[in-house]
A = this chain, B = another copy of it.
Amino acid sequence: MTGHHRRVSGATGHLGLCTDLYELRMVASYLQQGMTAPATFSLFIRPNAARPWYVALGIERVLELLPSFTFGPEELDELERLGIDRPVREALAAWQVDAGELWAVPDGTVVLAQEPLLEMTAPLPIAQLLETAVVNLVQYPTLVATKAARCELVADGRKLADFGFRRAHGLETGVEAALAAYVGGGFATSNVEAGRRFGIPTTGTMAHSYVQASTDEREAFRRFATDHPEHSILLVDTYDTVRGVRRAIEVCQELEIQPRGVRLDSGDMGALAVEARRLLDDAGYADATIFASGGLDEEEIHRLVTEGAPIDGFGVGTALTVSQDHPGLDIVYKLVEYDARPVAKFSGVKSTFPGRKQVFRRGGAPTDDVLSLRDATEEGRPLLQSAWQDGERLLEDEGVATVRDRVRAGLDTLPDAWRRPPYVEQAPLPTIGRCLDELTEEVRHAVVDDE
């Protein structure tokens, strides 16, 4: 997404082994059986009640890494150790992801469950082997961008900061989280490496340890405000929050500086914010801001905002970077066509629709989306674009600003019941277009006939 260099996983620079063993077993069998006709896999989120919509993110990362899905000497040794036959290993050694095509929605598109974020068409072994990595690379950015967008909507114009680097699942993941949170929800970040790498605005002032390293709170405030007058958001809850606010005010008066503000990190945020606001205003510091943090998630932010708490910004940590209320997206990559034969699965929530698809967005908002076949003629703007073909990228890297703008524009179209609690109870789904409906019935009959 950025043009900045990012490290790829895999200690050797080859990503071929970033897959599940069953993919390799299947690939070996496909090659032995000559099953190398084109297959189409569709990446989509299964319907569940956890989220009414999602901000798609990670497509650019897939496109960036596709050429790295190769096997070097260490990978081939490992395949031998796993008992993969020589002809299969030789095929994989020569292997490049260079045949086929990938259609995808651009990063930042607001999508519904069941709508493909990406469709890969390639010789069956290639399309199959990519499953694990494609799911992985899209899942986490989409999870966090969606979480961040939900936070932004309930924060209703207040500032947001990602404080979750330390609790992200891995250092590199914390950096990716900062990017997704910025793109999805306009979050600034405490993550300095993310600031360097992606140009995301960074934020941060002081922790409790800073206050405790001084022998008293006043002395700590004095030191910090002297050294960082322009970043003087003082953390006031190390001992007693209200007393902390008073001390912050006294120190600023003594030093004759305008405080940037205070940060509350524990206690009854709503009541403490009212008291802090009153004290700051009485001291003539109407411009000083009140920032809240400490175990916050979207629900608490929504409550504080709707109660009218005088809080100017929220720091969100663990809840954001692990998407705490919903830490794993039910996102899947399913075979929908092999050798020109449409394929589906009919089993309740795990059902899939057959064939290569397109999503048609009618009237701007996802409320009237139609899911149909790739070559259907439906009203509306097609969301999936040809992103890559036979080794050549067609969807160019758009840069962070463009993707952010797309998210903002997408969120603006959402109806109120999709924007903040109480959310619609039933996850909305696209209407199924006529051709897709007919094809599904055909495939269903064929399966039933077979059984």
Using a CB–CB cutoff of 8 Å, the interface residues on chain A facing chain B are 4-11, 15, 17-26, 28-30, 32-33, 35, 39, 41, 74-75, 78, 82-83, 124, 128, 131-133, 135-137, 139-140, 143, 163, 165-177, 190-193, 195-197, 202-210, 212-213, 215-216, 223-224, 227-228, 230-231, 237-240, 243, 266, 318-319, 322-324, 327-329, 331, 334-335, 338, 341, 343, 345, 347, 350, 447, 450-451
Pairs A–B under 8 Å by Cβ, sample size 5: A18-B171, A25-B206, A26-B209, A29-B227, A168-B169
Number of copies: 2
Also in contact, A20 and B166, with CB within 8 A (given A205-B25, A327-B324, A335-B209): yes
Q: Which B residues are in CB contact (< 8 Å) with A331?
A: 167
Cβ of A216 and Cβ of B450 under 8 Å apart? yes
Q: Which B residues are in CB contact (< 8 Å) with A19?
A: 165, 192-193
Q: Which B residues are in CB contact (< 8 Å) with A143?
A: 169
Q: Which B residues are in CB contact (< 8 Å) with A124?
A: 213
A291 CB to closest chain B CB (Å) equals 12
Cβ of B324 and Cβ of A137 under 8 Å apart? no
The residue that A203 contacts in the complex, of B6, B9, B21, B224, with Cβ under 8 A, is B21
Q: Which B residues are in CB contact (< 8 Å) with A74?
A: 196
Q: Which B residues are in CB contact (< 8 Å) with A131?
A: 166, 207, 209
The residue that A171 contacts in the complex, of B26, B137, B335, with Cβ under 8 A, is B137
> Which of A139, A170, A447, A451: most chain B Cβ within 10 A?
A170
The residue that A20 contacts in the complex, of B10, B11, B29, B204, with Cβ under 8 A, is B204
Also in contact, A22 and B213, with CB within 8 A (given A192-B17, A196-B75, A324-B327): no
Q: Which B residues are in CB contact (< 8 Å) with A350?
A: 266
A407 CB to closest chain B CB (Å) equals 20
The residue that A227 contacts in the complex, of B28, B128, B137, B208, with Cβ under 8 A, is B28
Cβ of A25 and Cβ of B322 under 8 Å apart? no
A121 CB to closest chain B CB (Å) equals 14
Cβ of A191 and Cβ of B447 under 8 Å apart? no
Q: Which residue of B lies closest to A329 (CB)?
A: B167
Cβ of A167 and Cβ of B231 under 8 Å apart? no
Cβ of B29 and Cβ of A228 under 8 Å apart? yes
CA distance A319 to B327 in the complex (A): 9
Q: Which residue of B lies closest to A339 (CB)?
A: B213
Cβ of A167 and Cβ of B447 under 8 Å apart? no
Cβ of B25 and Cβ of A231 under 8 Å apart? yes
The residue that A239 contacts in the complex, of B24, B210, B230, B451, with Cβ under 8 A, is B451
Cβ of B9 and Cβ of A193 under 8 Å apart? yes
Q: Which residue of B lies closest to A190 (CB)?
A: B20
Cβ of B190 and Cβ of A22 under 8 Å apart? yes
Q: Which B residues are in CB contact (< 8 Å) with A328?
A: 167, 318-319, 322, 324
Q: Which B residues are in CB contact (< 8 Å) with A75?
A: 196
